[in-house]
Amino acid sequence: MQRLIPTGDAARPVAFTEAPQPTPEPGEALIKVEAFAPNRGETFLLERPRQGLLPGKDIAGLVVQAAADGSGPGIGTRVVGHPAQGGWAEYAAVPTHSLAVLTDGIDSVRAAALPLAGITALRLLRTAGSLAGRRVLLTGASGGVGHYVTELAVAAGAELTAVTATPVRGERLTELGARVVHDVTAAQGPFDVVLESTGGTTLPIALSKVRPGGLLVWFGQASRSPVTLDFFELLGVAEGVTIQHFHYAGAPYGPDLAALVGLVERGRLHPEIGRIADWADTADTLVDLRERRIRGKAVLLTGEGR
């Protein structure tokens, strides 16, 4: 079968190779991949790929071999999955605890756009606590996570301000109910909660806009620059604020995937997909994602999905 593997070349981060079909563990189903979606974090991993890295965490497709231990969906079931790796291939072995069944109303493209970004949004919002009537600031908002967070937070009653680089990158967020600004300094605080994913010079400014005793959840560093904080600049401003480091990871993912599928099915969550392409275009798509040229998610189509 065909599989994409890292090259270590920033201009063309992946290339096709011929590889054996994976042999599933007893608790894994074999999925024929129809669509997959890359994430910003994966583009970081591809810069200096570790030996043996097989990229690919977000897939949708068809079960062609059920798990030998009897768990999970049967052969012929359409699923969305979040394997630890290996999803950018014609076939992937996925633990059944990290699969959810797809209903007929949800195509593989929207399904593949859900896993990592959607699970992150759900877990991030649970970390933030109740948002009913809360003032929320979200940075790095024009990507996959940002669109999911915005739609879910607004539905939960938050008054949300989103930071995007340009008006075009914030258009859909405005439609979803966010107040969009293009520089964190323009965000009108104070905020009860800040969801920060860019690091660098943005985090300290965002932190200065949290109300005393509020919460800043730090979930990324898209700028690639570390953060420097000045104790004295925060005196009388963000006193008593909690800074919480957040990482979404922790299997099982199946229940959260099923929750996301249900939200899409009921029209409560609308994946924002800025690019749909054949997986022959994966390398270019990864570069465009890294360079902020894609709004929301990118989805690549393999085999039957094309």
Ligand X SMILES: NC(=O)c1ccc[n+]([C@@H]2O[C@H](COP(=O)([O-])OP(=O)(O)OC[C@H]3O[C@@H](n4cnc5c(N)ncnc54)[C@H](OP(=O)(O)O)[C@@H]3O)[C@@H](O)[C@H]2O)c1
Q: Does 6 engage in binding with ligand X (CB under 6 A)?
A: no
Q: What's the rounded Cα separation, in Å, for the pair 194 and 29? A: 39
The three-class DSSP label of residue 23 is coil
CB of 169 to ligand X, least distance (A): 4
Question: What burial class does residue 167 get, using C-beta atoms within 10 Å of its C-beta: 0-12 exposed, 13-18 middle, 19+ buried?
Answer: exposed
Among the listed ranges 81-89, 106-114, 139-147, 258-266, the one in contact with ligand X (CB under 6 A) is 139-147
Closer residue to ligand X, CB minimum distance, 72 or 296:
296
Of 95, 146, 214, 254, the one binding ligand X (CB under 6 A) is 146
Q: What's the rounded Cα separation, in Å, for the pair 43 and 164? A: 20
Q: Does 169 engage in binding with ligand X (CB under 6 A)?
A: yes
CB of 81 to ligand X, least distance (A): 17
CB of 136 to ligand X, least distance (A): 15
The three-class DSSP label of residue 152 is helix
CA distances from 29 to 62, 73, 114, 228 (A): 10, 8, 19, 45
| CA quadruple 28, 30, 31, 33: dihedral, nearest 10 | 110
Q: How many CB atoms lie within 10 A of CB 103?
A: 11
| Residues in contact with ligand X, shown as a per-residue x/- string from 87 to 126 under the rule CB under 6 A | -----------------------------xx--x------
Chain Cα centroid distance, residue 266:
20
DSSP string, 65-107: E--TTS-SPPTT-EEEE--SS--SBSEEEEEGGGEEEPPTTS-
Q: Does 219 engage in binding with ligand X (CB under 6 A)?
A: yes
Interface of this chain with ligand X, residues 198 to 217, rule: CB under 6 A: 198
Number of residues forming the site for ligand X (CB under 6 A): 26
CB of 219 to ligand X, least distance (A): 4
Interface of this chain with ligand X, residues 220 to 249, rule: CB under 6 A: 220, 222-223, 246-248
Q: Does 143 engage in binding with ligand X (CB under 6 A)?
A: yes
Of 150, 197, 208, 282, the one binding ligand X (CB under 6 A) is 197
Closer residue to ligand X, CB minimum distance, 39 or 108:
39
CB of 132 to ligand X, least distance (A): 24
Q: How many residues does the chain have?
A: 306
Q: Which residues contribute to the site for ligand X (CB under 6 A)?
A: 39-41, 116-117, 120, 140, 142-146, 164-165, 169, 197-198, 219-220, 222-223, 246-248, 289, 292
